[in-house]
């Protein structure tokens, strides 16, 4: 990729296929990627993730883990240890 392509690349992030994009809340945008969870509930779990804490954090039924430079702008994602395996990804809002 050329330098010009990097400079002119769009700053938004692509929404994964078959996901639900939630309205920004608490400075975060959430994409629900699997399972039976609504935007408000996902956001309530997401705000409990400590961006300065451990990479893997257990929050309720979810194990959440941070992204890295290769997954940017993804901040972290959460996967539930439940039958429906709800999942959501969190991006800066």
DSSP string, 5-66: HHHHS-SS-PPPTT-EEPPPBTTEEEEEEESS--HHHHHHHHTT--TTS-SEEEETTEEEEE
Has residue 4 got a pLDDT over 80?
A: no
Per-residue pLDDT reduced to its tens digit, 18-29: 789 999 999 999
Q: Mean pLDDT in the chain?
A: 87
- For 3, the enclosing helix (H) or strand (E) is helix 3-8
Has residue 3 got a pLDDT over 90?
A: no
Has residue 11 got a pLDDT over 80?
A: no
DSSP state of 4: H
Q: How far apart are CA 79 and CA 85, in angstroms?
A: 6
């Amino acid at each position: 990729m050329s330098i010009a392509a990097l400079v002119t690349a769009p700053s938004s992030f692509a929404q994964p296929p078959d996901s639900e994009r939630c309205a920004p809340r608490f400075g975060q945008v959430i994409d629900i990627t699997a399972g039976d969870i609504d935007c408000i509930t996902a956001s309530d779990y997401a705000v409990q993730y400590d961006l300065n804490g451990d990479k893997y954090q257990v929050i309720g039924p979810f194990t959440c883990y941070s992204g890295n430079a290769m997954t940017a702008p993804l901040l972290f994602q959460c996967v539930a240890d439940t039958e429906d395996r709800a999942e959501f990804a969190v991006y800066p809002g």
